[in-house]
Amino acid sequence: MSKNIAGAEYPLAKIFSSDFDYTIPSYQRPYAWTEDEAGELFDDLYDFYQNEQEEGYFLGSIVLIKEEGRPEAEVIDGQQRLTTLTILLAALTSLFSGDLRYDFDSYVRERGSASQGLRPKPRLSLRERDRAFFASNVQSLEFVKLLEIDPVTLANEAQRNIQSNSRLLLRRLEEVFSGNEIELCKFGAFLVQRCFLVAVSTPSQKSAFRVFSVMNSRGLDLLPIDIVKADVIGKIQEEDQDAYTDRWEVMEIQTGRAGFNDLFGHIRMVYTREKAKKSLLEEFRASVMSQVDSSEKLIEEILEPYSAAYQAVKTAQYESSSTADGHKANELLKWLNRIDNSDWIPPAMLLLSQLKGSSEYALWFLTKLERLAACMHLCAKNVNYRIERYAEVIAALQNVSDLRTAPDAIELTDAEKREMQTALDGKIYWMTPRRRNYLILRLDSFLADGAATYDPTVLTIEHVLPQTVTAKSPWAKPWPDKDERWEWVHRLANLVPLAKRKNSSAQDFDFERKKKVYFAGRDGVSSYALTTQVLAAPEWTPQVIRNRQQQLLDVLVDKWKLAVT
């Protein structure tokens, strides 16, 4: 079987050449990268381009069903990267003119060659349902037309992601290069010459899936923590090695193997206060292990305190001298753990590892941290922004001599407050599910004054005024103006949480029937405060929803302290 598997590292100039003719099979999931992933990719590429003049940038690996010597390649793993890189190359090409445009266009489309038997076609063919859309808008460089399309009219989430990522990458290219074709060309040359992917290919579908499974295995492979452990324990006096090995293994058991490895990454962040540029092993050795003069101190003064803090943070089991403060602090930790990233963990760990009993301060800090994390979550800040922002908080915590002195970095700036208010007053339903669910449930918790508990696994966010209103709909009379419906349908006031599956047949029920049949539970009430408010409303008109929007925004501004000074 191994003779049928081939793997090699190629620059993007080779990846996007006539040697490969990529097709995304219909059974693959849709294109799912959002502006988060696309923005992070661009920021990482541009940062590397600016700071590394000779090194190559590794973009990961792709797994293909492909016969040797033939270009046809079915993508088993890597469609998200290939699709996003195609959008980036197409966006870059669209900003060129003349010979440069002709040159870079060859990485997006095969121009064809009669003498070589090559017919014109895109380098990458998406799943059937999105193929024509991608080819006619992105690969044909028709970005002006693409960005003018109303996203609500697009067929699916994949096409909306393609549109939003195209807009983002075009904007980033225009921001950093300001239309300078010479600098754009240098960046383009960096992309195709110094950025690499490993292509693993096999002609057998069974073999390809086996390769994919092995590459994504979560087994007990050697992790950086195992190598650190060997380094650390090996430097301890032989008579003490068993005792420190036991202490190490207690931490690993308590956090779990994967959690223990994550812990090392969070400790690295506390010490470096920047995004990782090298392997965890290299950076942990250089930034953390170099700061202590013995293995015993590393375990006693760094690993054990941070391990205890990490467990408290991840399990929301902070132990406080005040039962009331401890309960509130742990509720905040539960909300923090619902955010779609773990970048907030290092400052939380640092704070809890430093505290020696000040439960009041812990509650104050976690209240501010949840607000900051929610702000970046709901405003869709990418990983680079988040890391820089949390680095400020970590630096502030490390520089205060008395923990009762509040670090200003944990506070939102007026600009952040304004941006958050704008996001809260926007089209909430267009947020990613994790973001809109966080906001809806957090708002509901504010209305319930923290008395409610939530199971996000059975959560559905529904529209009161339906997304589609026909001329015969009972909603056409109270909402005759199409533009007014469009203004309000996806905003906060028109959304309610339900603990049941989506019922598409209920969308065109009139308001009273929708309340009784769909929004209310079996006993005629709802477990959500937001939904209960809607059940109590006698009608659902533009004026009702306008007043409700302001009331809900007032609650969020009050509870999250978003008033601009």
Tokens (6 digits) for 379: 């405003």
Residue 90, in any domain of the structure: yes
Domain identity same for 467 and 486 = yes
pLDDT by residue (tens digit) across 30-53?
Answer: 898 999 899 999 999 998 998 888
Residue 241, in any domain of the structure: yes
Q: Which residue has the tokens 């870059």?
A: 92
Instruction: Determine contact, residues 389/435, Cβ cutoff 8 Å.
Output: no
Of 88, 81, 280, 255, the closest CA to residue 166 belongs to 88
Domain identity same for 403 and 361 = yes
Residue 162, in any domain of the structure: yes
Q: Beta strands 6-11 and 121-122: pairing type?
A: unpaired
Residue 14, in any domain of the structure: yes
Query: What residue type is assigned to position 536 of the chain?
Result: A
pLDDT(350) > 80: yes
Domain identity same for 398 and 503 = no
Mean pLDDT of the chain: 89
**End of a domain among 187, 215, 243?**
215
Domain limits for position 256: 219-311
**Residue 105: per-residue pLDDT:** 95
**End of a domain among 173, 199, 215?**
215
pTM: 0.72
Question: Per the structure, how many domains does the chain have?
Answer: 4
**End of a domain among 311, 345, 364?**
311
Domain identity same for 198 and 167 = yes
| Measured distance CA(329)–CA(318) in Å, rounded | 7
Residue 490, in any domain of the structure: yes
Residue 382, in any domain of the structure: yes
| Measured distance CA(9)–CA(278) in Å, rounded | 19
Tokens (6 digits) for 328: 């509130």
Residue 509, in any domain of the structure: yes
Question: What does the DSSP assignment read for 349-374?
Answer: HHHHHH-SS-HHHHHHHHHHHHHHHH
pLDDT(3) > 60: no
**Residue 502: per-residue pLDDT:** 62
pLDDT by residue (tens digit) across 268-315?
Answer: 999 999 988 888 888 999 999 999 999 999 999 999 999 999 999 999
Domain identity same for 66 and 125 = yes
| Measured distance CA(62)–CA(478) in Å, rounded | 53
pLDDT(220) > 50: no
pLDDT by residue (tens digit) across 165-204?
Answer: 999 999 999 999 998 999 999 999 999 999 999 998 988 7
Domain identity same for 506 and 532 = yes
pLDDT(124) > 90: yes
